[in-house]
């Protein structure tokens, strides 16, 4: 086993200690309470709130953002930047103690600002986007509910609280994906999201139970201080289970399939939940649990591999899709792959992953809302082969989308450059050949990202018109939709640079993400070389896409080679899931139903028929079911007694 | 002339049982002597007063830890906690049973002997007042359950089993509508229940044989003797193990664990819904209370070798309950399979051989009882001209018609699914934690996985209620009478409070989790 499991020395990490909240920070619970109260009001008042309900929803998030900003400023002045607010003892039985408490520290603070800030803009946008939908009030209620759950997720001070938020966002996203339940595809997508998330949730739940069993606690500080004393194998299992949870929520390999299907929900949902916030919960989980993940190098290797596989997979599939929201969805999968790569690398890369997460929140939300704006003007068309030439008709959408596009492919000085390029560089900073493997994957991913995003941008806004006949003049969206776009575009341009400036955010996060591994790069390539290389592949990818698609494309599917066909079919992962999970599941259910209803009965009848023959007798035997129930009980009883005796005789021991 | 030595009897400790059985007898007299039109009110108040009086005595006895009436009854922490739980849940069930404003005449048949589907039957279904014999029957059943969880020898346990089972068989047959289904359910329950009782009794006989021949100690089936015999009986251990297996089967039948669960869906569906609620909540408490006592008191030193077998039963139970719940189309059958799966989770708690396991199981029983009663209370309200509309397709769009009750039902389903901040999450937590600590990781993994599967049918109902348009056949939700509304509110509030502030009840359960022997 030693070849496989190489454990890092349990370093005597400085003990984690949280201060008690005081002053303004003692009201940090308001962050969760306000959106929750708003959701409750919207749901309880029913139709009476139809006229003003959406504004209440927007205001709740706005107030939460302002509060979050206030708390952040308060936090800056403190010695110990991790303050804890214990609301009440949730469970106290024997050794078990779970606190219903909140933790506001630099990591939580940046998440709060992202969720409420970007969330506020998306809420604002949705006021107009959902204006013609009679379920708008209900929509805002679910939306507020989601924000409350997401804030609970990032603000909890133990894993059980995190799990509460985790389940809450899952539930809200399920409701929001199936919001347009009239569409069968929306209902199916909702189910798929729910089921795949359950797989991940099961991992997280079992992981939390293991913490209980081995450490006797789920409080962050006690777990992190205690993890050094655990056996390496336990840490590995614990970490893998947490990783499974993270993969489910964040749409990472092998649980990625639900995320692109989730695009059936209204576009603001895609922007808020499936681009900016909820899908990054997995990254939050790993970053928050960094003492666990840093304690085991095998674990880190697994996280890095998941990230690398997913980022390439997302790029490949994204390049073959024609639905504007699905391209963006696969792009999200791929960008979160970069974040997983970052948190897996550990050390200083934790902060890099968080920076990329925040920057991504801005530019991806920007592009999703831009896509919504395009659809709004094009009669809900989503096929990019049916766009083209929109730059003349939708100026604001065009310019803002361009900012998002330049940001995601990493053109300096936009934010993607400052957030993605350092991750690529740190992927090369490994001691062995894996530096080339992961660095190469990250670099290749950058080129592919440039390719498919350019393809998306060019096909949508440039080249000849390929519109369907029913569209004469695409119109720009109303102000309420374009203002959030402009603000998000400004964020896409500036956020990365501001966060990277003077290592500002990285040092802000240092108390949480112990970045002792900093220092100068000592990778296989110098940082300058990597910067030049990544810019080169980006320009090459973008240039290739530009030259291929500048004159538009065919409006119907074209025959394609093996790779493109595979990518169009999501690299056959859906077929794999169906064959490996769905079919046996269906079979198991059918078999159980059969056994429960007819199996035992059939056995008896079959025997009777074989012995006695004659259909008359068979029919008479089929009249009652009690006998077959009794047979089932007898069979079970014989088995149980036999098993008891076998144990007693030592046969099973 | 030997002097007859009478065992000492602590009447105060026995008072909850005595009150229930006494009032049940009184109820029989009321049937005979009180004019028909006063019977309903008299019987209902009598039964409720009895339950509350018994509950008061349970609270009064809170500190008692003793064995009385010649070792037949043990009054200790688990007894009192479980008796308290049974009484509170039974009070709620009585409120549902006594409801007469949702359906004219109540949920019960007026004359049980009327031929099903005949003209007479249709006439009685239209509004004759239901039979009031249900109250003494229920009171007897509650009394039997109180003895069952306190029984300190196997014979007392067996008699208690019969005392609470027989009235239940009858109660199942008394549905006002769908009489054939109801009678069929009662018949099945009776035949299979008798069958399971035979297993139990055979087990008692084998265990009795095993205790014979110990030096200086007479044979017997009281738990102290059995416990001593497990250590140093000269008899063949085959007797012990076969006996233990048969006893377990008898109890697992009542608990609705697979493969002894087969009666559950039919009976839950056919019985009058208030009775189903009573069975789902109170019978479960009684059956698991007895299982806890048998394994923790009588067989404490032998039983844990068999954890793998009972663990396999638990896993099978969860699997059957969860997987089959997915394909159900009737809400009562769906809840039946959910109750089967919950029996599996409860077994996980029983198999943790620590005080925390006992505490977790008891907490689970109480919390689940509240939720399941509330769930069936909602089921009694969703109706059309032919009575309750239990087919799931009929529930589509209910959220539009009646958002409040659909919201309440959604909350209860989320609790069943174990969503945090409901009692469902806390109770799973309370049984899985101790199981993991005692090294039963596989049970916990199976439990978490199946509860993920089980969440799906619940969510399907939620989606159906909220995210589909109401059709012409969508039934209305009846305005509940005060009784149903009270029971429903108690159930929902308890589900919420036990999810948000579980500590007081968990503390109570932990303090109570010590058996006397």
Question: What pLDDT score does B28 carry?
Answer: 94
Neighbours of A582 (CB within 10 A): 12
Average pLDDT in chain A = 78
Task: Measure CB to CB from residue B320 to each of A187, A592, A648 and give the nearest one.
Answer: A592
B198 interfacial to chain A (CB closer than 8 Å): no
> Is there a single domain that holds both residue A607 and residue A458?
no
Tell me how close the Cα of A594 comes to any Cα of chain B, in angstroms.
Answer: 10
Is A312 inside a domain boundary? yes
Nearest residue of chain B to residue A636 (CA atoms): B259
Same domain? A268 vs A411: yes
Point out the domain boundary residue: A572, A607, A633. Answer: A572
Contacts of B209 (CB under 8 A, 6+ apart): B219, B235, B239, B243
Domain co-membership, A589 together with A457: no
The whole-angstrom distance between B207's CA and the closest CA on chain A is 14
Asked if residues A443 and A533 have their Cβ atoms less than 8 Å apart, the reply is yes
**Do A589 and B327 make contact, defined as CB atoms within 8 angstroms?**
yes
Contacts of B242 in chain A (CB under 8 A): 641, 644-645
Residue A587, pLDDT > 90, answer no
Q: pLDDT by residue (tens digit) across A522-580?
A: 566 777 888 888 888 888 888 888 888 777 766 666 666 666 677 666 766 666 666 66
A-proximal residues of B, 95-154, CB under 8 Å: none
Chain-chain contact of A201 with B452 (C-beta, under 8 angstroms): yes
- Spell out where B399-516 has E strands: 476-477
Which residues of chain A are within 8 Å of residue B421 when distances are taken between CB atoms?
Answer: 164
Nearest to A164 among B313, B421, B503 (CB): B421
Does the pLDDT of residue A54 top 80, yes or no? yes
Is the pLDDT score of A517 beyond 50?
A: no
The residues of chain B scoring below 70 in pLDDT are 1-2, 303
Inter-chain residue contact A630 with B195, CB threshold 8 Å: yes
Predicted local distance difference test score (pLDDT) of residue B70: 85
Q: How far is the C-alpha of A254 from the C-alpha of A573, rounded, in Å?
A: 8
Co-location of A583 and A560 in the same domain: no
Nearest CA in chain B to A196: B452
Span A178-194, average pLDDT: 69
Alpha-carbon gap, residue A57 to A55, rounded angstroms: 5
As a whole number, mean pLDDT of residues A411-423 equals: 83
Q: Which residues of B touch A194 (CB under 8 A)?
A: 456, 459
E strand or H helix that includes residue A575: helix A573-577
CB contacts of A641 in chain B (<8 Å) are 242, 245-246, 249
- Is A91 in contact with B308 (Cβ distance < 8 A)? no
| Residue A321 near residue A288 (C-beta atoms within 8 A) | no
A308 and A228 inside one domain: yes
Position A334 in a domain? yes
Same domain, A558 and A623: no
In a domain, A6, yes or no: no
Residue A105 lies in a domain: no
Query: Which residues does chain A have within 8 Å of residue B467's beta carbon, measured at their own beta carbons?
Result: 178, 181, 187
Amino acid B94: pLDDT: 95
Residue A78 structure tokens: 């403190």
Residues contacting B46, CB < 8 A, separation 6+: B23, B26, B27, B30, B135
Cβ of residue B309 closer than 8 Å to a chain A Cβ: yes
Question: Do A213 and A341 reside in the same domain of the chain?
Answer: yes
Chain A: give the shortest CA distance to residue B241, in Å.
Answer: 6
- In this structure, the answer to whether residues A505 and A529 fall within a common structural domain is yes
Query: Using CB atoms, which residue from A171, A633, A644 is nearest to B244?
Result: A644
ipTM: 0.86
Q: What's the rounded mean pLDDT across residues A257-271? A: 78
Q: Measured between CB atoms, does B459 come within 8 Å of chain A? A: yes
What is the token pair recorded at B278? 């009573």
Q: For A614, left (φ over 0), alpha (ψ -120 to 50), or beta?
A: left
Range with the largest mean pLDDT of A259-273, A418-432, A445-459: A445-459
pTM higher than 0.90: no
Residue A515: pLDDT band by 50, 70, 90 thresholds? low
Residue B62 in contact with partner chain A when CB distance is under 8 A:
no
Q: A86 in a domain, yes or no?
A: no
C-alpha–C-alpha distance, residues B106 and B98, integer Å:
7
> What domain range includes position A620?
578-648
Judged by a CB distance cut-off of 8 A, whether residue B238 touches chain A is yes
| Nearest one of B293, B258, B320 to B80, comparing CA atoms | B293
Half-sphere exposure of A18 (CA within 13 A, CB side): 25
For strands A83-93 and A19-20, give the pairing: parallel
Cβ distance B510 to A640 less than 8 Å, yes or no, reads no
What is the C-alpha separation between B412 and B499, in angstroms, rounded? Answer: 11
Question: What integer is the mean pLDDT of A145-151?
Answer: 90
B255 close contact with A: CB closer than 8 A: no
- Let me know if residue A89 belongs to a domain: no
For the cut 60, the answer to whether the pLDDT of residue A624 exceeds it is no
- Domain end point (choices A555, A572, A589): A572
- In B, which residues are within 8 Å of A209 by CB distance? 432-433, 436, 444, 448
Tokens of A267: 């576009």
Tell me whether the omega of the peptide bond preceding residue A562 falls within 30 degrees of 0, making it cis.
Answer: no
pLDDT at A204 exceeding the cut of 70:
yes
Residues of chain B positioned with their CB less than 8 A from the CB of A199: 452
Q: Are the C-beta atoms of A266 and A126 separated by less than 8 Å?
A: yes
Whether residues A396 and A520 fall in one domain: yes
Q: Which of A626, A639, A645 sits opposite B191 (nearest CB)?
A: A626
At which of A572, A606, A635 does a domain end? A572
How are beta strands B387-388 and B73-75 bridged, if at all?
Answer: unpaired
Residue with tokens 């009777």: A608
Q: Are residues A295 and A429 in the same domain?
A: yes
Q: Do B192 and A644 touch (CB under 8 A)?
A: no
Q: Is residue A22 part of a domain?
A: no
- Average pLDDT value for residue range A93-107: 77
CB-nearest to A632 from B262, B313, B419 is B262
For residues B90 and B370, give the distance between their C-alpha atoms in angstroms, rounded to a whole number. Answer: 10
Q: How many domains is chain A built from?
A: 2
Q: Is the dihedral of CA A75, A79, A82, A83 positive or negative?
A: negative
Dig out the tokens for A115 from the structure. 């969720």
- Residue numbers in A near B291 (CB within 8 A): none
- Indicate whether A358 and A290 sit together in one domain: yes
Chain A CA closest to residue B456: A195
* pLDDT higher than 50, residue A64: yes
Q: Distance, in angstroms, between B443 CA and closest chain A CA?
A: 11
C-beta of residue B362 within 8 angstroms of C-beta of residue B82 = yes
Contact B241 A647 (CB under 8 A): yes
- A381: helix, strand or coil: coil
Look at residues A254, A255, A472, A484 and name the one whose alpha carbon lies nearest to residue A368.
A484
Q: Is the same domain home to A518 and A585?
A: no
Q: Which helix (H) or strand (E) holds B435?
A: helix B423-437
Judge whether A243 lies within some domain.
yes
Q: Smallest Cα–Cα separation from A132: which of A478, A629, A571, A497?
A: A478
Q: Among A36-40, A226-230, A299-303, B82-86, where is mean pLDDT lowest?
A: A226-230
Mutate to test the interface with A, among B324, B363, B459, B466 (most CBs of A within 10 A): B459
């Amino acid at each position: 086993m030693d070849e496989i499991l190489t454990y890092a020395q349990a370093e005597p990490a400085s003990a984690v200690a949280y201060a008690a909240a005081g002053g303004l920070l003692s009201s940090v619970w308001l962050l969760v309470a306000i959106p929750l109260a708003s959701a409750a009001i919207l749901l309880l008042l029913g139709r009476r709130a139809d006229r003003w309900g959406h504004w209440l929803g927007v205001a709740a998030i706005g107030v939460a953002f302002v509060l979050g900003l206030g708390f952040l400023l308060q936090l800056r002045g403190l010695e110990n930047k991790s303050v804890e607010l214990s609301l009440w003892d949730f469970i106290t039985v024997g050794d078990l103690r779970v606190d219903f408490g909140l933790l506001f520290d630099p990591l939580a603070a940046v998440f709060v600002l992202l969720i409420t800030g970007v969330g506020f803009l998306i809420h604002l946008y949705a006021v107009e986007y959902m204006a013609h939908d009679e379920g708008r009030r209900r929509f805002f209620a679910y939306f507020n509910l989601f924000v409350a759950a997401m804030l609970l997720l990032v603000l909890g001070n133990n894993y059980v609280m995190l799990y509460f938020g985790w389940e809450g966002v899952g539930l809200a996203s399920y409701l929001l994906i199936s919001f347009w339940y009239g569409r069968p595809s929306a209902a199916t997508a909702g189910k798929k999201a729910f089921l795949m998330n359950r797989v991940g949730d099961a991992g997280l739940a079992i992981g939390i139970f293991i913490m209980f069993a081995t450490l006797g606690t789920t409080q962050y500080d006690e777990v992190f201080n205690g993890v050094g004393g655990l056996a390496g194998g336990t840490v590995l299992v614990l970490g893998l289970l947490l990783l499974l949870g993270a993969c489910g929520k964040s749409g990472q390999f092998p649980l990625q399939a639900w995320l692109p299907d989730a695009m059936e929900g209204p576009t603001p949902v895609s922007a808020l939940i499936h681009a900016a916030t909820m899908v990054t919960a997995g990254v939050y989980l790993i970053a928050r649990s960094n003492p666990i993940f840093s304690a085991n190098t095998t674990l880190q290797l697994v996280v890095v591999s998941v990230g690398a596989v997913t980022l390439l997979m997302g790029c490949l599939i994204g390049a073959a899709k024609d639905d504007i929201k699905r391209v963006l969805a696969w792009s999200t999968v791929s960008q979160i792959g970069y974040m997983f790569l970052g948190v897996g690398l550990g050390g200083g890369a934790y902060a890099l992953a968080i920076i990329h997460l925040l920057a991504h929140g801005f530019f991806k939300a920007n592009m999703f809302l831009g896509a919504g704006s395009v659809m709004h003007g094009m009669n809900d068309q989503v096929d990019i082969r049916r766009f083209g030439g929109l730059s003349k008709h939708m100026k604001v959408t065009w310019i803002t989308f361009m900012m998002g596009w330049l940001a995601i492919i990493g053109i300096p000085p936009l934010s993607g450059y400052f957030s993605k390029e350092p991750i690529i560089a740190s992927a090369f900073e490994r001691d062995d050949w894996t530096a080339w493997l992961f660095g190469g994957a990250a670099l290749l991913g950058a080129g592919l990202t440039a390719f498919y995003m350019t393809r998306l941008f060019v096909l949508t806004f440039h080249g000849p018109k390929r519109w369907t006949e029913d569209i004469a003049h695409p119109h720009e969206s109303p102000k309420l939709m374009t203002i959030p776009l402009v603000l998000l575009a400004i964020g896409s341009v500036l956020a990365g640079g501001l966060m990277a400036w003077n290592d500002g955010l990285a040092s802000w996060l240092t108390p949480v993400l112990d970045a002792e591994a900093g220092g100068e790069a000592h990778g296989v390539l110098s940082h300058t070389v990597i910067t030049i290389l990544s810019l080169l592949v980006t320009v090459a990818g973008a240039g290739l896409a530009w030259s291929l698609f500048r004159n538009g494309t065919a409006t119907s599917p074209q025959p394609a080679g093996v790779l493109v066909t595979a990518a169009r079919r999501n690299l056959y992962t859906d077929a794999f899931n169906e064959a490996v999970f769905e079919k046996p599941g269906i079979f198991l259910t059918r078999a159980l139903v059969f056994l429960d209803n007819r199996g035992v009965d059939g056995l008896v009848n079959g025997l009777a028929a074989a012995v006695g023959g004659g259909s008359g007798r068979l029919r008479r035997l089929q009249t009652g079911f009690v006998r077959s129930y009794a047979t089932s009980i007898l069979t079970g009883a014989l088995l149980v007694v036999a098993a008891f005796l076998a144990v007693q005789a030592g046969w099973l021991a | 002339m030997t002097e007859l030595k009478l065992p000492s009897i602590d009447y105060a400790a026995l008072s909850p049982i005595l009150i229930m059985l006494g009032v049940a007898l009184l109820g029989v007299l009321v049937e005979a002597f009180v004019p028909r039109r006063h019977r309903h009110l008299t019987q209902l108040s009598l039964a409720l007063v009895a339950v509350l009086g018994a509950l008061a005595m349970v609270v009064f006895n809170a500190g008692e830890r003793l064995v009385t009436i010649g070792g037949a009854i043990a009054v200790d922490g688990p007894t009192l906690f479980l008796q308290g739980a049974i009484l509170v849940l039974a009070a709620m069930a009585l409120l549902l049973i006594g409801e007469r404003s949702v359906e004219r005449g109540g949920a019960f048949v007026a004359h049980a002997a009327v031929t099903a589907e005949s003209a007479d039957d249709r006439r009685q279904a239209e509004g004759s007042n239901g039979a009031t014999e249900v109250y003494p029957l229920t009171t007897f059943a509650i009394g039997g359950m109180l003895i069952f969880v306190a029984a300190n020898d196997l014979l007392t346990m067996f008699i208690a089993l019969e005392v609470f089972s027989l009235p239940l068989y009858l109660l199942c047959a008394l549905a006002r509508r769908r009489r054939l289904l109801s009678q069929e359910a009662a018949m099945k329950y009776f035949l299979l229940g008798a069958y399971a009782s035979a297993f139990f009794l055979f087990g008692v006989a084998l265990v009795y044989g095993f205790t014979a021949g110990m030096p200086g100690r007479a044979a017997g089936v009281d738990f102290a003797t059995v416990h001593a015999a497990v250590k140093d009986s000269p008899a063949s251990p085959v007797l012990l193990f076969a006996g233990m297996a048969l006893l377990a089967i008898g109890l697992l039948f009542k608990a609705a664990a697979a493969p002894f669960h087969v009666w559950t869906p039919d009976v839950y569906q056919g019985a009058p819904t208030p009775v189903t609620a009573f069975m789902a909540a109170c019978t479960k408490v009684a059956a698991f209370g007895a299982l806890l006592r048998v394994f923790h008191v009588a067989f404490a030193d032998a039983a844990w070798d068999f954890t793998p077998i009972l663990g396999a039963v638990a896993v099978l139970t969860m699997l059957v309950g969860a997987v089959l719940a997915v394909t159900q189309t009737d809400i009562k059958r769906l809840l039946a399979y959910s109750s089967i799966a919950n029996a599996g989770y409860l077994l996980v708690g029983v198999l943790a051989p620590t005080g925390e396991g006992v505490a977790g199981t008891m907490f689970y029983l109480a919390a689940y009882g509240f939720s399941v009663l509330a769930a069936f209370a909602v089921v009694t309200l969703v109706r059309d001209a032919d009575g309750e509309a239990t087919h799931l397709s009929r529930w589509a769009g209910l959220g539009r018609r009646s958002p409040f009750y659909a919201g309440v039902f959604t909350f209860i389903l989320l609790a069943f699914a174990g969503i945090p901040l409901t009692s469902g999450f806390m109770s799973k937590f309370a049984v899985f934690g101790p199981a993991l600590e005692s090294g039963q990781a596989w049970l916990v993994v199976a439990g978490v996985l199946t509860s993920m599967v089980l969440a799906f049918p619940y969510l399907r109902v939620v989606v159906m209620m909220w995210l589909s348009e109401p059709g012409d056949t969508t039934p209305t939700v009846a305005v509940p009478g005060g009784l149903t509304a009270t029971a429903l509110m108690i159930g929902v509030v308890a589900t919420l409070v036990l999810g948000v502030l579980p500590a007081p009840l968990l503390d109570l359960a932990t303090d109570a989790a010590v058996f006397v022997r």
